[in-house]
């Protein structure tokens, strides 16, 4: 899936050759190439396999120097891409380097995106010493001079790209690899209700099942309604993982000494800011009358009458606090509200459909503003009074874990 691939953004002025660059890397006519400015209007994605780098998603963005209302919209969409990519190529040509490029560099630095600067069309106009000097006033990034019309330059570009790819992009993360050992029994509790997709498991359940198998565990998958039957088997799992929607029921039915967590909490650790979640979740108890809560969904989906983010969590929050709260839901990668401090709490979904970089950058404005953040699974665990139990498994020494009262 694309969420597990390296995301590389291609940025620069109109007609610097961004589309030609993607075509060169892929060896295919993926992006439309034109001599007319402004051909690319929306970010264009292409999943590829890059030699010596691996699976990646190339994102061709609109030119950043367009004028007018449509140009402003294109620029905004390109800036949003910066918050989602793992690394970037800033493309220039004709020795043009000025305010547009400086603004991009500022955005790269702000979002901690590693990048290189590539001067294209060297067959027409090689990069000048004065251009390099101007660049170095604002950036320490590697600069290469190349042409998309020269096949040999492809390897030089990929070599430079490889040097800026974050090391973490090459790491294969495991959801439960440090929590279990080979031959351990792992129990997955997956409710099949109206919110469940027809004929398949949802992505977090599917990935957790595969991860358990990759770690040589014995995996048992049951519905929450079959817990009583499972207990008759007298099998003690080394770890039980539940869907957050039935967390409270499962916690009551499973013996207290069986380690328990949820799919959503596993993804909170894999992709989110786990420390911020741990600190922010107990702030639920401090919510006051008319406080504003932001629900962040990272994908668009069919909303059911018992939707976990739009119905269950808001209902439980108001019941738990005894206060009437206001809720705003932002779905997918839609632009966030302008003022983070308008909210008393942010509740983020598991983020299974986006990259870790995308999720962290969505949380960043709220964390920097001092707004508490939590995650679906951790919030539900707290609201059901099992927060300690649901998070204790992530620390081998429970005494080192910051504990909060279970209600």
Cβ-based neighbour number of residue 234 at 10 Å: 6
Residue 117 forms beta bridges with which residues?
A: 90, 143
Please enumerate in sequence order all residues whose Cβ is within 8 A of that of 58, keeping only pairs 6 or more positions apart, or say none.
8, 10, 22, 25, 26, 30, 45, 46, 48
Please enumerate in sequence order all residues whose Cβ is within 8 A of that of 269, keeping only pairs 6 or more positions apart, or say none.
394
Judged on CB neighbours under 10 Å (0-12, 13-18, 19+), 375 is: buried
Q: Which of 268, 328, 267 is nearest to 295 (CA)?
A: 328
Query: Domain locations in the chain?
Result: 2-170, 185-266, 274-383
Q: What pLDDT does residue 404 have?
A: 39
Dihedral of CA 212/218/221/222: which sign? negative
Report the greatest alpha carbon distance in the chain: 78
**Same topology for domains 2-170 and 274-383, yes or no?**
yes
Q: For residues 30 and 22, is the Cβ–Cβ distance under 8 A?
A: yes
Q: For residues 142 and 164, is the Cβ–Cβ distance under 8 A?
A: yes
Q: Which of 2, 104, 101 is nearest to 47 (CA)?
A: 2
Q: Which of 358, 300, 306, 286 is nearest to 332 (CA)?
A: 300
Q: What pLDDT does residue 33 have?
A: 46
Per-residue pLDDT of the chain (407 residues; tens, 9 = 90+): 456 688 999 999 988 999 899 888 887 765 544 444 444 455 788 888 888 788 889 998 876 555 555 556 666 777 788 888 999 999 999 999 999 999 999 999 988 899 999 999 999 999 999 999 999 999 999 999 999 999 899 999 999 999 998 876 555 578 999 999 999 999 999 998 766 667 788 888 999 999 999 999 999 999 999 999 999 999 999 999 999 889 889 999 999 999 999 999 999 998 889 999 999 999 999 999 999 999 999 876 555 556 888 999 999 999 999 999 999 999 877 889 999 999 999 999 988 778 888 888 889 999 999 999 999 999 999 999 999 999 999 975 333 333 434 43
Query: What CATH class does 2-170 carry?
Result: alpha beta
Give the 3-state DSSP-derived string for 28-84, with helices as H, strands as E and coil as C: CCCCCCCCCCCCCCCCEEEEEEECCCEEEEEEECCCCCCCHHHHHHHHHHHHHHHCC
Specify the CATH number of the domain 185-266. 3.40.50.11420
Helix, strand, or coil here: 145?
strand
Specify the CATH number of the domain 274-383. 3.40.50.11410
Distance CA 155, CA 170 (A): 20
């Amino acid at each position: 899936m694309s969420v597990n691939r390296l995301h590389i953004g291609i940025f620069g002025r109109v007609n610097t050759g961004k589309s030609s660059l993607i075509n060169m890397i892929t060896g295919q006519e993926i992006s439309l190439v034109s001599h007319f400015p402004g051909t690319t209007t929306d970010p264009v994605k292409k999943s590829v396999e890059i030699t010596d780098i691996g699976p990646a998603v190339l994102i061709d963005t609109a030119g950043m120097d367009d004028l007018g209302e449509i140009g402003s919209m294109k620029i905004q969409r390109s800036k949003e891409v910066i918050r989602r990519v793992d690394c970037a190529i800033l493309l220039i040509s004709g020795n043009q380097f000025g305010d547009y490029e400086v603004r991009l560099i500022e955005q790269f630095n702000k979002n901690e995106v590693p990048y290189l600067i590539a001067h294209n069309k060297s067959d027409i106009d090689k990069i000048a010493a004065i251009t390099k000097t101007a660049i170095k006033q604002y950036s320490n990034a590697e600069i290469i001079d190349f042409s998309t019309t020269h096949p040999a330059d492809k390897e030089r570009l990929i070599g430079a790209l490889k040097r800026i790819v974050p090391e973490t992009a090459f790491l294969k993360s495991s959801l439960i690899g440090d929590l279990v050992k080979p031959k351990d029994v792992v129990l997955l509790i997956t409710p099949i209700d109206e919110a469940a997709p027809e004929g398949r498991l949802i992505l977090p359940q599917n990935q957790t099942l595969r991860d358990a198998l990759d770690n040589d565990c014995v995996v048992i998958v049951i519905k929450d309604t079959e817990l009583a039957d499972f207990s008759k088997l007298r099998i003690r799992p080394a770890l039980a993982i539940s869907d957050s929607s039935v967390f409270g029921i499962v916690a009551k039915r499973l013996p207290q000494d069986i380690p328990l967590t949820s799919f959503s909490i596993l993804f909170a650790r894999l992709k989110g800011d786990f420390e911020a979640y741990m600190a922010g979740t107990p702030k639920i108890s401090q919510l006051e009358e008319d406080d504003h809560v932001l629900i962040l969904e990272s994908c668009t989906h069919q909303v059911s009458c018992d939707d976990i983010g739009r119905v269950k969590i808001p209902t439980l929050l108001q019941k738990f606090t005894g206060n009437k709260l206001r809720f705003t839901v932002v779905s997918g990668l839609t632009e966030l509200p302008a003022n983070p401090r308008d909210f008393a709490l942010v509740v983020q979904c598991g983020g299974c459909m986006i990259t870790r970089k995308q999720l962290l950058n969505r949380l960043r404005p709220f964390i920097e503003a001092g707004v508490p953040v939590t995650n679906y699974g951790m919030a539900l665990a707290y609201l059901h009074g099992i927060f300690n139990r649901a998070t204790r498994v992530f620390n081998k020494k429970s005494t080192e874990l910051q504990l909060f009262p279970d209600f």
